[in-house]
Chains A and B, each alone.
Chain A
């Protein structure tokens, strides 16, 4: 167990809908990362937050957004869902941003199925 929690574990929804994925980082970790894992695209970085502020953006679609709250948990919002959004979504956390504080630990993931 990495100490990173994600809910829900599974999510099944229809095209055009909106969903919210939740992540709680390890105790003491300030940085949260979201990754998408699909069969054709592999593991791809979406977005990073550090202590409530957006730090980096990857290949995140405009239909997707995220935020990190004062208690450091993070939510990833996916809207106008398409079949191609079906994937495993992982959250990872690290203590900080540099040196030995940037090791990332992954949560169990949320499996999203869009029908």
Chain B
């Protein structure tokens, strides 16, 4: 089955700086890669996603890049703000009708004011 590795596990940045979180996946057949943000005790919230036919996607301060050859994808947050502090999870979804998410282990992002 799919295996997703995520790095780093913790990340501290100064407000206004950029943050980058990286994930690798094992199943070359995976074709959908969402990113979720989770605040303590709350539900995971989708912040951006990318499909395998696209190399990059941007939504305001958040961008995701996908390298299918290397089987890795990254989340980029620019101009970080204290409210960006949370745990971020990457995930991969296999092709086919079983669309379950395989999550990475999460990155605790802390934005220091």
Residues of A within 8 A of B (CB): 2, 31, 33, 35, 42-45, 48, 50, 55-56, 58, 90, 92, 94, 97-98, 102-109, 111
Segment at the interface with A among B11-19, B37-45, B68-76:
B37-45
Within 8 A of A (CB), among B31-60: 32, 34, 36, 41-46, 49
Residues in A whose Cβ lies below 8 Å from that of B43? 2, 90, 106-109
When A42-B103, A42-B105, A45-B102 are in contact, do A50 and B97 touch as well, CB less than 8 Å? yes
User: Is A105 a contact partner of B99 (Cβ separation < 8 A)?
Assistant: no
Interface string of B71-113 (1 = CB under 8 A from A): 0000000000000000001000100011111110110000000
A-B contact pairs, 24 of them (CB 8 A): A33-B99, A33-B100, A33-B101, A42-B106, A43-B101, A43-B103, A44-B103, A45-B101, A48-B98, A48-B100, A55-B97, A55-B98, A55-B99, A56-B98, A90-B43, A97-B97, A102-B93, A103-B34, A103-B46, A104-B99, A106-B36, A106-B45, A107-B43, A108-B43
User: Is A45 a contact partner of B46 (Cβ separation < 8 A)?
Assistant: no
A105 to B93, CA, bound (A): 14
Residues in A whose Cβ lies below 8 Å from that of B93? 102
User: Is B49 a contact partner of A103 (Cβ separation < 8 A)?
Assistant: yes
When A2-B43, A106-B45, A107-B43 are in contact, do A45 and B99 touch as well, CB less than 8 Å? no
Residues in A whose Cβ lies below 8 Å from that of B36? 106
* Nearest CB in chain A to that of B49: its residue: A103
Residues in B whose Cβ lies below 8 Å from that of A97? 97, 99
User: Is A102 a contact partner of B99 (Cβ separation < 8 A)?
Assistant: yes
Minimum distance in angstroms from B84 CB to a CB of chain A = 19
With beta carbons under 8 angstroms apart, the residue of A31, A106, A108, A111 that contacts B99 is A31
A98 to B44, CA, bound (A): 21
Residues in A whose Cβ lies below 8 Å from that of B99? 31, 33, 48, 55-56, 94, 97-98, 102, 104
